[in-house]
Amino acid sequence: MSLILLEDICKYYYMGDQQVKALSHINLTIKPNEYIAFIGSSGSGKSTMMNILGCLDKPTKGRYLLNEKNVSTLTQNELADIRNKEIGFIFQSFNLLPRASALNNVMLPLVYKGIPLNLRKNLAKEALEKVNLADRMDHIPSELSGGQRQRVAIARALVTQPSILLADEPTGNLDSQTTQDIMTLFDELHNEGQTIIMVTHEDDIAEHCHRVVRLSDGQIVEDYENERKLANV
């Protein structure tokens, strides 16, 4: 069974009279509990791929099945509902509310799901414990290090128990040691059964993943299993 199935996905933009093919005839299957990196240079199509996988945008043509549901034909409101239920987003810039505590930042996605306050707090605390930040839950982002802020962002992505963690350059603003710590956390989450999709331009980040899909000019040019990583599983 596939978690994600992309069939002949194309995404075209227009700049004046010129058509730009951001993605061209993408066919791809992602199974539950895969740990996959999309890698490519600027302009390769990886950001467009992330937007489509994350239901932030719709393809110009083709089918996108997520948990066997065709999301490529949904309305914007329906896509928002899918994002809230199925996808946990992690961004390079963390995207935390600056005046809200770590706990309140993690609780935020649960507000949109209509979950009662006490249950929201309990679920958010559990998510922060999972990323080893239980002792920082009352701190606001300016009182946290970059690595701690990213852990809050990961907890926020996890709190809705999504089918997919979608991480966009998640270590781009971190130093090398903190990057290693965050990638170790992703390893742990994957080992617990979480499906992780990472978008990066860095080969050393992609090397942490079990499968690597390389994009160039809107097309898949490589799709391979990371044998070195799989050998250590």
In a domain, 149, yes or no: yes
Q: Which range of residues forms the domain containing residue 151? A: 33-58+75-231
Express each pLDDT in 204-227 by its tens digit.
999 999 999 999 999 999 999 987
In angstroms, the CA 191 to CA 195 distance is 9
The CATH number of residue 95's host domain is 3.40.50.300
4 lies in some domain: no
CB 147 within 8 A of CB 116: no
> What's the pLDDT score for residue 182?
94
pLDDT of residue 67 exceeding 80, the answer is yes
Q: Is residue 119 assigned to a domain?
A: yes
Per-residue pLDDT at 59? 95
Write out pLDDT tens, residues 115-139: 999 999 999 999 999 999 999 999 9
Q: Could you tell me if residue 48 is inside a domain?
A: yes
Is the per-residue pLDDT at 81 higher than 80? yes
Does some domain include residue 136? yes
**17-45 tens-digit pLDDT:** 888 899 999 999 999 999 999 999 988 99
Residue 25, domain member (yes or no): no
Number of structural domains the chain divides into? 1
In angstroms, the CA 134 to CA 102 distance is 10
pTM of the model: 0.92
Residue 1: the pLDDT is: 81
Average pLDDT score, the chain: 93
Question: Do the domain assignments include residue 16?
Answer: no
pLDDT band (50, 70, 90) for residue 149: very high
Tokens of 17: 């009279």
| pLDDT for residue 55 | 94
Residue 100: which region, alpha, beta or left (left: phi > 0; alpha: psi -120 to 50)? beta
CA angle, corner 63, sides to 59 and 69, nearest 5?
Answer: 115
pLDDT computed for residue 17 by the predictor = 86
Dihedral angle, C-alpha 118, 124, 129, 132, nearest 10 °: -150
Integer-rounded Cα Rg, in Å, for the chain is 18
19 within some domain: no
